[in-house]
Each structure stands twice: as C-alpha cells, then as structure tokens.
Structure 1
Amino acid sequence: MYDPRGVYVRRRVGALVAAVVAMVALIWLIDALIGDDEPVVGVAASASPAQAPPSSGPSTAVRTSATASASASPSPRSRTPEQVPADPSAPCPDTSVRLRAETGERSYQVGRRPLLRLVVVNAGPVPCTYDLGRSRRELVVTSRDGKTRLWSSNDCYFGADAPEPTVLEPGMRNGFEVRWAGRTSAPGCPVRRDDVPAGDYRVVPRLGPLTGDAAALTITR
C-alpha cells in the first residue's frame, strides 16, 4: 500500500544526511587549503631575535637620541670663552702708565706763580692699581735744553712717605697741580733760593721710576 507520508520522511532524512556529508566535505577542503600557513605564521611570531628580520626601530631611536644629545650640547668649537672680569686691584705694569706735564698758561710774567700739572693716564685696556703716593709724584723745572735742574716739587716736601694705591681707569686723567713760586730749589731745601729770570724752560713729570712728556714754559718780563 502506498504511504505518501513515509516517502516524505525518507526524503527529508536523506536530504539531511546529504547536507551533513556536504558540510563535512567542505570543512575538510577549507582545512586542506589554509591549514599549512598557520604553523609558519606561528613560527615567525615566536622566532628568536637571531631568526627574526632586523628592525629599524631601536636603531632609529638610538640615532635620534644621539642626534638630540649632540644638538643639546654645543660642540667645543661653538663655545664662546668666558670673559673673566679684570681685577682692578691688580698692579698696573709700568708700560701701561703714561705721564705728561701741563701748564695753566703757556707763559707767565716774572712774579706770578705758574700753575704746573702732573697728569697720569692708564693707557692699558683694563683698570688696574698704581701707587700715586705724594713722594713719588714730582714736577721738575729745567733749562730749555734740560741740562740744568732749577726746581723740583719734592725738594722742600717733608710729608709722610705713605703709599697711595689708586685704581686707574683706562684712558681717565688723574691730575695733580702745584703752584711754583718761580724760584730755584735743591734737594734738602736750602734756605737760599733765587728768582728764575725770564726765559724758556721745560717742566718734566715724574712718578716713581717713570718719566713722561715735558711741557714748555715761558717766563716773561
């Protein structure tokens, strides 16, 4: 006897079995196609540093760090030497001290008291200290040719022989003035002193061991 319901059930079961078989075959096929790549990928991922391909990351980082360090610290050539401030208390070398004599006027009449000036100048590039003690400063009046000594500002000076260390700024004038009575003198300050007659004379500046540029002085009647 024909049973339509049984035929339907058998066909459904057969279709399900065929579908399961087809799915199993498909899974096997996919595994056969890509299964060999997974171990290679796994080995590459777990490779030791000796086997792994070199990476530019660490080396680049080191070079960048070294470059940054080199940029941060100036090279020896680019450094500017520090300028050490000059010590004003350092003694002036004699070669940097310049002296000259000056007169208030070019000529004076007999009986007037000529103004004489000793000027000290530091010709060096930095300030320094020099002894300008009174006993070291001297103005000397001589004959025009310089052969005859007529008067000195120190002949009759009996003050204390105390040093006067003085800071001399570069190029700055340091002047010392004296009025000359127009009479002769000699070391030890003898009582007899003669009036200097009209004529042409020289005023010579001295400071310790130094002698400077003389100034001309004329005494008129």
Structure 2
Amino acid sequence: MLEPNGPLPPEIYWRRRALAIGVVVVVLAIVIWLVTMVARGGDDSGDTASATTTSAAPSSSAAASSSTTASSAAATASSTTPSPTTGPVDQPAAEPCGDQSLALKVTVGQPTYRVGDQPTFGTVITNISSAPCSRDLGPGPQFLVYTLDGQRRLWASNDCNPEGPAEVKTLKPGEQLSYKGTWFGTTSQPECAGERLQVPAGAYMVVAELGAVRSAAEPFNLAD
C-alpha cells in the first residue's frame, strides 16, 4: 500500500483508510447475508423452522449444506404426516316423538260429494313440542270415516292396505308434514275382511289417526 502524503500526520491517513476499509467490509457482509437469505427463501417449500444454537457460525458452504438437509427433512416429514380428516360431524339423534309432541289436522277436499265419487282427504302432522323429535311415519296417518254421530265406523284407509316399510322422519319444532288419501266410497273392515258395500247418501265425518294421536273430526256429505 502506498505511503500516505499530506499536511496531516501519517497515522490520521491510516485511520481514515482503515475506517473506509471497515465500511466496505461491513457493506459486503450485509450484501452477502442478504443474498444468502434470499437464496434460502427460494429453496424453502413453504415450511419454516427455527433453532437456537450456541456454537460458532458455520462457514458459507457448511451453512448451505445444513440448510439443504433441513429442507429435505422438513419436506419428508410433511409428506409422511397424515392430514386431519375433515367431514360432517355426527349430530345427536333426536328423541322419539311422543304422542303428546304431535298434533293432527284433517281436511276434506270439498264439503259434498255424490254417491259413487271418490272423496279426497288430507292431514297435516305438526311437531308441537319445543325440541326436534323423530317418528316412524312409513305407514303414514290413517283416515277413518264414521257416521256423523260417531257411532259407526264405516271405513279406514289401512284396512285393506298393508303397512309399508319403516320410514323414520325427524321434525323440527313447528315443522309440518302433509299426507293425502282417497276413499272409494265403500265400507271396509280390519284386514279387509267381509264384503265392501257402497255407502249411501248421508252426512258423515272423517278423522285422521297416528298411533294414539287423533285429529278433530271434519264433516262432509254424500248426495244422490
């Protein structure tokens, strides 16, 4: 290195040179550190890991080798670790609908039919409780036709129709289900026993029934 020349003492020039060299070294160190961090960030696959060590910092080649090994180990661990299974959460089963939890309402298609017509009936089942409940509604509610005074049972929709398979349904509070039925205008008996006779003109009533739950009666007429 050249001997400094100038009006100031030589040691001042040496100090200035040493300071300039130190600044250059610091800048270079920062640049090298930034380049190394960017290179490491480009090699990572998204997994990050941190570690604390008290040993001396490794050389550049050793650090690069360590970083590559750590990345490979992290990738292997990620590929062999099973991901948690996500799916629908099982909901607790609703309590059975007791008879006190349900209400039935029956309707008639029209107030008067002619003898030989096929009157149509409808019913609505309502969950009147404050909680969801379930009930086997496979057979559906039964329609029953009586004389207007209720003394004589003339027909029931399940007399000649075998019950279908079980079909459990869950009803939310206030939820309703509707069913319909058709009457051929003839008498029937349980298990479809006996002769089926045409019901004559007169005043009649129909009720809906589900187990022990029974609707209010709805009147209608058969006319000649």
TM-score w.r.t. structure 1 length? 0.56
Partner of 2:208: 205
Match for residue 92 of structure 1 among 88, 93, 97: 97
Distance in 2, matches of 1:200 and 1:94, equals 30
The reply on whether 1:150 has 2:154 as its aligned counterpart is yes
Q: Paired residues, what number?
A: 134
1:87 CA drift (Å) = 5.2
Stretches of structure 1 that go unaligned for 5 or more consecutive residues are: 1-85
Match of 1:168 in 2: 171
Query: How high is the sequence identity, in percent, across the aligned residues?
Result: 36
Once residues 88 and 112 of structure 1 are traced to their aligned partners in structure 2, the CA distance between those partners, rounded to angstroms, is 44
* 1:121 paired residue number: 126
CA spacing shift, 1:96–1:194, aligned 2, 3 Å: same
Pairs within 5 Å for 1:26-41 = none
CA distance in 1, matches of 2:158, 2:126: 21
Which is greater in Rg?
A: 1
Change (3 A) 1:103 1:132: same
3-state SS in 2 of match to 1:204: strand
Shift of 1:151: 0.2
Aligned amino acid, residue 104 of structure 1: G
Partner in structure 2 of residue 112 of structure 1 = 117
The answer on whether the counterparts of 1:100 and 1:215 sit within 8 Å (CA) in structure 2 is no
Aligned 8 A contact 1:111 1:182 in 2: yes
TM-score, normalising length: structure 2: 0.55
1-structure distance, mates of 2:112, 2:93: 39
| Alignment check: 8 A CA contact 2:203 2:219 kept | yes
Distance in 2, matches of 1:170 and 1:107, equals 35
- Partners of 2:124 and 2:162 lie apart in 1 by 22
Deviation at 1:210, TM superposition (A): 1.8
- 1:188 aligns to what SS in structure 2? helix
